[in-house]
Amino acid sequence: MLLQLLSVLWEALSLQVVLVFLATFLLLADYKKQICPRNYPPGPTPLPFLGNILYLDFKKPQISARKLAEKYGNIFGLQTGNIRIVVVNGLHLVKEALVHQGEYFVDRPKSPVLDKVFGSLGLVFSNGLSWKHQRRFALSTLRNFGLGKRSLEERIQEESRYLKEAIEAEKGQPFDPHFQINNAVSNIICSITFGDRFDYHDSRFQKLLHLLDEALLLQGSFWTRVYDLFPSVMKHLPGPHHTLFKKWGQLKSFVKEIIEKHKKDWNPSEPRDFIDAYLSEMAKEDSASSFHEENLLHSALDLFLAGTETTSTTLRWGLLYMAIYPDIQAKVQAEIDSVIGQSRQPVMDDRDSMPYTNAVVHEIQRISNIIPLNVPRVTTKDCTLAGFHIPKDTLLLTNLTSLLFDEDEWETPNVLNPGHFLENGQFRKREAFLPFSAGKRACLGEQLARTELFIFFTALIQKFTFQAPKDVTLSREFRIGLTVSPLPYRICAFSR
């Protein structure tokens, strides 16, 4: 509590310092840019010079925006200088933007930090033809390696054996499962992309995972946002943003080394992984011009970063919720015992005969809500949404929280309730369940993530009962980085 309070105070103080910078620079900026476009979605009146900057609470954007959503409804607009942000709430409008009018909202925004770290390369932050080609290639390659010699499912099963061993070694003592889970999850994407898994005791890889974790946490930090507003000033000031760039640099050299090694022992007739397949694509005479080494580096890095933190965070929420709701955990175990038993590994084919476990996995994803405002998009052209005019280059935030916690959709939005996904004992799909987003730019790894979540989760609950350490009350408090993740916690895993 105290720490949190201190950090809030500290941020309030530093905010004042920043506001001085801000005022100075916006004075120099073109004030006319702030004039609202006609028929722009309603929102608070921009202050002279500052626009709506005061509404952009960096730590808990969901909370500062609550009042706005209550006041202005399902679509509202903010403006700061020439930066426009439109926020969209509710299933109907979110689908309208992402799916029915998807082509207008298909791009990712650019920002000085993203430009510096990712350029316009890779999968997550690229746009246009390059994005289209990289995405199509990544999707089909993931599919191929999923069906290849060793199926994806087998890789996940093998990895869950290692994960169970590592957790068993904790002998029921309180431990933080963060890096074991991170390592297991990231090994799946590593084995697809780089051709190999890494041992949990491999100190170089542990360092890399810490790097990734720190970089993603910094990515969401206050100073990163300030850098985005004033890159030319911040460049010269000390601060955590320099650490961020350094960490990304280290992550890139790690991947670069792996690529170099692949180039040395590459055999085009036997592609081992994503990198090999990409090298073959580059060598084709008629391949699109975006297939070059820099893009290989960034696509591989993007798979690694989009595929590790998300799934690992969801699983960490899952174990935490199982310890908080022992009755639900016991019911999952009963279903596992009757359908799978103790002698074999779970497989995807079990899912259809395990409606309760399937519902729990969905419900964990719903309530964890790890990407509350989706990944931002930007309009490619002027367009109209809900009757309002949205100019080109407006940032679009689709509020996934408003779907996953909609009181009209879910009986008990704030409580873990597998009943949300059950009807007469059978699994039922829910339209408002869109944690992977929707449309042409939706999560590229959805299939993979669902397979990982089901197999890892089921394998762990089959083998262990998770409990809070003696005299400890586990909390649902979170921190915000790239995803909303549980605060570090310790838990006991008792072998069954």
Ligand X SMILES: *[C@@H]1O[C@H](CO)[C@@H](O)[C@H](O)[C@H]1NC(C)=O
What does the binding site for ligand HEM look like in residue numbers (CB under 6 A)? 123-124, 135, 189, 302-303, 306-307, 310-311, 314, 370-371, 374-375, 435-437, 441-445, 448-449
Which of 283, 384, 371, 367 shows the shortest CA–CA distance to 325? 367
373 versus 491: smaller Cβ distance to ligand HEM: 373
CA gap 397, 400 in Å, rounded: 9
Query: Closest approach of Cβ 76 to ligand X, in Å?
Result: 7
Using the Cα atoms of residue 299, residue 304, residue 307 and residue 310 in order, give the sign of their dihedral.
negative
491 touches, from ligand HEM, ligand X, none (C-beta below 5 to 8 Å by class): none
435 touches, from ligand X, ligand HEM, none (C-beta below 5 to 8 Å by class): ligand HEM
Query: Closest approach of Cβ 72 to ligand X, in Å?
Result: 9
Please tell me whether residue 75 adopts helix, strand or coil conformation: strand
Q: Within 121-160, which residues bind ligand X (CB under 6 A)? A: none
Phi/psi for 484 (5° steps) reads -90, 115
87 touches, from ligand X, ligand HEM, none (C-beta below 5 to 8 Å by class): ligand X
- Given a contact cutoff of 8 angstroms between Cβ atoms, the answer to whether 313 and 220 are in contact is no
62 touches, from ligand HEM, ligand X, none (C-beta below 5 to 8 Å by class): ligand X
CA gap 307, 150 in Å, rounded: 19
361 touches, from ligand HEM, ligand X, none (C-beta below 5 to 8 Å by class): none
CA gap 109, 111 in Å, rounded: 7
**Which of 69, 163, 189, 444 is close enough to bind ligand X by CB under 6 A?**
69
Which of 369, 401, 337 shows the shortest CA–CA distance to 486? 369
Residues 6+ apart with CB under 8 A from 178: 312, 316, 488
310 versus 467: smaller Cβ distance to ligand HEM: 310
379 versus 399: smaller Cβ distance to ligand X: 399
Q: Which residue has the tokens 């820099």?
A: 294
Query: Closest approach of Cβ 360 to ligand HEM, in Å?
Result: 15
Which of 458, 316, 484, 332 shows the shortest CA–CA distance to 404? 484
Q: Which residue is nearest to ligand HEM (CB)?
A: 445
124 versus 279: smaller Cβ distance to ligand HEM: 124
131 versus 464: smaller Cβ distance to ligand HEM: 131
Q: Which residue has the tokens 């696509």?
A: 299
DSSP 354-384: -HHHHHHHHHHHHHH-SSTT-S-EE-SS-EE
Q: Which residue is nearest to ligand X (CB)?
A: 65
74 touches, from ligand HEM, ligand X, none (C-beta below 5 to 8 Å by class): none
CA gap 103, 91 in Å, rounded: 18
CA gap 188, 78 in Å, rounded: 40
135 touches, from ligand HEM, ligand X, none (C-beta below 5 to 8 Å by class): ligand HEM
Query: Closest approach of Cβ 379 to ligand X, in Å?
Result: 18
Cα 145 → chain centroid: 23
Please tell me whether residue 402 binds ligand X under the rule CB under 6 A. yes
314 touches, from ligand X, ligand HEM, none (C-beta below 5 to 8 Å by class): ligand HEM
170 versus 393: smaller Cβ distance to ligand HEM: 393
Listed ranges 61-69, 202-210, 377-385, 485-493: which one lies at the site for ligand X (CB under 6 A): 61-69
CA gap 109, 155 in Å, rounded: 35
Listed ranges 40-48, 64-72, 180-188, 220-228: which one lies at the site for ligand X (CB under 6 A): 64-72
90 versus 177: smaller Cβ distance to ligand X: 90
CA gap 54, 80 in Å, rounded: 9
The HSE-up count of residue 495 (CA atoms within 13 Å, CB side) is 9
78 versus 181: smaller Cβ distance to ligand X: 78
Query: Closest approach of Cβ 477 to ligand X, in Å?
Result: 18
Residue 361-400 contact track with ligand X, rule CB under 6 A, x = bound: --------------------------------------x-
Query: Taking the CB of residue 495, how many other CB atoms lie within 10 A of it?
Result: 11
Query: Taking the CB of residue 317, how many other CB atoms lie within 10 A of it?
Result: 23
CA distances from residue 302 to 198, 292, 448 in whole angstroms, order as listed: 18, 15, 15
Query: Closest approach of Cβ 480 to ligand X, in Å?
Result: 13
Query: Closest approach of Cβ 189 to ligand HEM, in Å?
Result: 6
Which chain residues interact with ligand X by CB under 6 A? Answer: 62, 65-66, 69, 87, 89, 399, 401-402, 405
